[in-house]
Amino acid sequence: MSRKRWKPSVTVAAIIAHDGRYLLVEERTAEGLQYNNPAGHLDPGESPIDAVMREVFEETARRFVAEALVGIYLSRFQRPATGEDVTYLRLAFTGSVGEADPAQRLDRGIVRTLWLTPQEIRASRERHRSPLRLRCVEDHLAGRRFSLDLITTDASIYTPHVKR
């Protein structure tokens, strides 16, 4: 009997802190305006670090330098607007960003970037796109850091081998 294989969506997120505040994006979603870390899906042909650098730039117009892995998270939820059952495997990185490039437009759906304190983030839970939003910040505040060497991207990601 054939069964459909379950495949969670792999996402990356950036947990960026500066002067006691965290960089977030406000984005339009089916559930309204929500806050999120700069984050998005891993695309074919890129490593998780390449993906988080790309996503941060697309969503904030800032160049991101990954310095450590904060954690790997698995979550599941149903979208209120569609009832879709979604499972995410999220790799959350921390690092630093430069100034925003004024010539770079923010990704479709991103309304603005903002810097919030941990207290402001906790107080805005009803606007979080995901429960992982706060969990990643709390883990960052707790000092969770893992070496980027924990993640290995095989060269086949860039040029797949053909099986014969």
Of 84 and 148, which is predicted with more confidence? 148
- On the 0-12 / 13-18 / 19+ scale of CB atoms within 10 A, 140 is buried
Report whether pLDDT(164) > 70. no
pLDDT by residue (tens digit) across 33-88? 999 999 999 999 999 999 999 999 999 999 999 999 999 999 988 777 788 888 99
The whole-number pLDDT of residue 104 equals: 95
What's residue 1's pLDDT? Answer: 60
What pLDDT is recorded for position 84?
Answer: 82
Cα torsion 98, 103, 108, 110: sign: positive
Give the model's confidence band at 162: pLDDT under 50 very low, under 70 low, under 90 confident, else very high. low
User: Please, what are the domains in the chain?
Assistant: 9-149 (3.90.79.10)
Please report the pLDDT score of residue 86 as a whole number. Answer: 83
- Which residues have CB under 8 Å from 32's CB, separation 6+? none
User: Could you give the CA distance from residue 149 to residue 48 in angstroms, rounded to a whole number?
Assistant: 12
- pLDDT tier at 30 (50, 70, 90 boundaries)? confident
Q: What is the pLDDT of residues 99-143, one digit of tens each?
A: 999 999 999 999 999 999 999 999 998 888 887 889 999 999 999
Spatial contact of 62 and 55, defined as CB atoms under 8 Å apart: no
